[in-house]
Copies of this chain bind each other. A is one copy, B any other.
Amino acid sequence: MRPNIVLFGDSITQESFRSGGWGASLADTYSRKADVVLRGYGGYNTRWALFLLHHLFPLGSTKPPVATTVFFGANDAALAGRTGERQHVPVEEYKENLRKIVHHLKECSPTMLIVLITPPPIDEEGRMEYARETYSEKAMTLPERTNETTGVYAKGCVELAGELGVRSINLWSKMQETDGWQKKYLRDGLHLTAEGNAVVFEEVVKVFKEAWLDASEMPYDFPHHSEIDGKNPEKAFQQKCL
């Protein structure tokens, strides 16, 4: 009955229902109006995401999502020749994979609102600190991601969105507009703090509103309790339930 909003992405999506997470905030905002469906796959890059595409978004579904956020790139941008090499995907392939994802979603539903989200910026120092705390002497000596390289992927993502005529959020740029973004928005140089989650939430809500998917203008699935007459409840439910 309610429309579905799917969050498709890597760990930054998978974690988004933790306390203060952007996914949970979306689910709260759209409560009684749309279901927010969590499809986050920690560690995944776009190459691996392609394997899931037909399973998560089957063609011919009678109820495709009304909106999907596609939030990859943090792992694709892991550098070749460093500790995250296994996850590395060259930027041209990253763009091609995103293109395949968008095409598939459009094939599922031509009216689906598709929002590409770039990876957040990288705080290389924060990444190294985290590695030292976690692995002590076995920690990497060179960062496995750099902010500069991740920026190239972010740029590619936004360019592709423009080319395909879908919306995008340049999280990489947006976060860096704020002084102290390194610690304010990132808890380990990559993953989001509660404040970082709030930025994603605000940006997604803004784009959804611009695309006419505004929670405040969507109908409740069933009557608000204040519309129910205590002595004659049938009346309120007549239209939808009787």
Interface residues of A (CB under 8 A from B): 1, 14-15, 17-21, 23-25, 27-28, 31-32, 35, 37-38, 40-44, 47-48, 51-52, 54-55, 75, 85-88, 194, 222, 224-226, 228-230, 233-234, 237, 240-242
Chain B residues within 8 Å of A224, by CB: 42-43
A31→B21 contact, CB < 8 A: no
Give the residue of B28, B38, B194, B222 whose beta carbon is less than 8 angstroms from that of A31. Answer: B38
- Return the chain B residue nearest A18 by Cβ: B28
> Which residue in B17, B51, B228 is a CB contact (below 8 Å) of A28?
B17
Q: Which residue of B lies closest to A44 (CB)?
A: B225
A19 and B25 contact, CB distance less than 8 A: yes
Oligomer: number of copies: 2
* B48 and A233 contacting across the interface, CB-CB below 8 Å: yes
Query: From A240, which residue of chain B is reached at the shortest CB distance?
Result: B55
CA A189 to CA B160, docked complex, whole Å: 52
Please report the C-alpha to C-alpha distance between residue A107 and residue B67 in the assembled complex, in whole angstroms.
Answer: 33
- CB-contact partner of A24 in B14, B19, B42, B51, under 8 A: B19
Q: How far does the alpha carbon of A25 sit from the alpha carbon of B21 in the complex, in Å?
A: 10
| Contact present for A48 and B87 (CB under 8 Å) | no
Whole-angstrom CA separation of A242 from B37 in the bound complex: 24
> Which residues of B have CB within 8 Å of A31?
14, 17, 38, 40
- How far is B31's CA from A22's CA once the two chains are assembled, in angstroms? 15
Known: A230-B85, A230-B87. A225 touches B20 (CB 8 A): no
Q: Give chain B residues whose Cβ lies under 8 Å from the Cβ of A48.
A: 225, 228, 233, 237
Contacts of A19 in B (CB 8 A): 19-20, 24-25, 194
Give CA–CA (A118, B84) in the complex, Å. 48
Complex contact A42–B225 (CB within 8 A): yes
Chain B hits for A35, CB < 8 A: 37-38
Contact A233/B47 with A27-B24, A41-B32, A225-B41 known, Cβ cut-off 8 Å = yes
Chain B residues near A87 (CB, 8 Å)?
225, 230
* C-alpha spacing A129/B192, complex, angstroms: 37
| Distance from A230 Cβ to chain B, minimum over Cβ atoms (Å) | 4
A9 to chain B, nearest CB (A): 12
